[in-house]
Structure 1
Amino acid sequence: MTKIVISEFMDEAAVENLQTQFDVIFDTNLVDNRSSLLEAVVDADAIIVRNRTQVDVELLAAAPRLKAVGRLGVGLDNIDLKACDAQGVAVKPAHGGNGSSVAEYVLTGILMLRRNAYFSSQPMLAGEWPRQALIGREASGSTLGLVGFGAIARETARRALALDMKVVAFDPHLAADAPEWAGVERHESLDSLLAVADSVSLHVPLTDETRHLIDDAALNRMKPGAILINAARGGIVDEVALAAALREDRLAGALLDVFEQEPLPGGSALGGVPNLILTPHIAGVTEESNARISQMTADNVRDVLAHAGVSA
């Protein structure tokens, strides 16, 4: 019987749907147990992963029957695309499934960090009343800078414009005359965007070109009092440099959902840093997006197996 291995969390309804046709191994512990994962894929026809399972040469060598990698999301830096192509393995990300979730996450961060009013619970319970210290700024009328202007960034821009924000964006891979720029001010360099943005949100993949794109020099180019949001990929932001900028009050705040090492290691440079919100790679995961992405991925894998002539 055709076998599918699922190594990270997935909507149970989509899993149950796959189980009606295929032999499905659904075990979220596999992502943290490499030897068990390699054993599980020996006779697998497909594997479904999120961002932590490493689909590399070692895994592909252990899975000679593999036909498809279903990605519950869109980032592909944990998947060796060249090795997959060489082995004839189709890689299928779930494009468009979590755009709304990420866009809402980014805007929530902007609203919270610009307003500066949501870190007062403990002082208030201690009898303080810090009204003057917590007078923040409105999002309306401020400038949002988007680094990368793909589908999720455009979802974010549409919502930001509805909040009366000005949106600027930098994306050297999108043609200057592309219709997607409508309503958005296009910048030709990252430096020019950082100089004018009150909030900066990152929407680029992790590559050699983008690793530590936001380093100490880039942070120094940002406006005093600006905020930074990274819900794209860990490694795009130099975490040590960001920690220093926040400690030195060069930025008003930051929201990070992705990190160079996940989970965070002990003694992280981000420990104890002021005006910093950390979340565990959850920006694109809501109940609704998880259901959409899971069903899209199940359908993608099913289609690949059908075209490959693999019977259930």
Structure 2
Amino acid sequence: MRAVAFTSFGGPEVLSVVDVARPEPLAGQVRIRVQAAPVQPADLAVRSGAFGPMVPPGPTYVPGWDVAGVVDAVGPGVEDLGPGVEDLGPGQPVVGLSDWLATRVGTHAEFVVLPATALAPAPARVTPQEAATLPANALTAVQALDLLGLARGQTLAITGAGGAVGGYAVELARLRGIRVLAIGSAPDERFLTSRDARYVPRSDDPAGALRAITPDGVDGLLDAAVLGTAVLGAVRDGGVFVSVIPPATPPAERGIRMEIVGLHSDGAQLRELVRLVERGHLTLRVADVLPFEQASEAHARFAKGGLRGRIVLVP
């Protein structure tokens, strides 16, 4: 089968389309015929060698975390995994997340094998390209909100609120009745205010901008833009700060609880996110769709920033 891969670390030019063996599903696993798989920031980090000893040089690596496709084969024992996987038979459209750092199983291939517990039926009435943008970013957002643990009526600030993770976090937080202060750039204002968030223009003093609105500080902050120390001052004493990238977590102060999102696959959570998509509560955003052969271009464009939605690769 064809797959996007690299054998040495470097820039986008190290990516190429190669032939690799088609995987076979083992016990509890499902093979998916891939229809769409987006490029994520972690793909750029893996390709560049930024993960260091966590991803050593040498093997052929296939990147890719999210997938939308159709079940092609089911391994033994899937039917014994209990409620929630009984509808994952051959021909079923699905979405899923690969726990790439743990397994090195990439979705930028014609076929991918994932645990049945990492999958959910794809949302109805959307394209595979749209559906593929859901798993990693929406799961990051909902798992971050669970870490924050804010109650209805409390105040959450979100940096990078117009981005992929931030956009889902805004929508999910408002569904929980949480007040949202959304830091973003000027083109994001309409998107954010239409989702009942208070737009806060991006500035050189994000903590000051938030304190001007909430002098006592916000109850929690999700740092999707990785501003780190620059925005920690906006959190009230005893509040919560959640980072999406470990190095960006500043030292704790003033009794603030510091957390890092450890993104992981969760089929049950993903099913609930799919239901929210079908009810019109979550917005799927695709920046562009490119074939596997243009993976290098996708990485280069992603690195330039400014995208709203994800670039999606298709076989």
Which TM-score tier does this pair reach, normalised by the shorter chain?
0.3 to 0.5
Q: Select the structure with the greater relative contact order (CA < 8 A; seq sep ≥ 6).
A: 2
Which one has a bigger Cα radius of gyration?
1
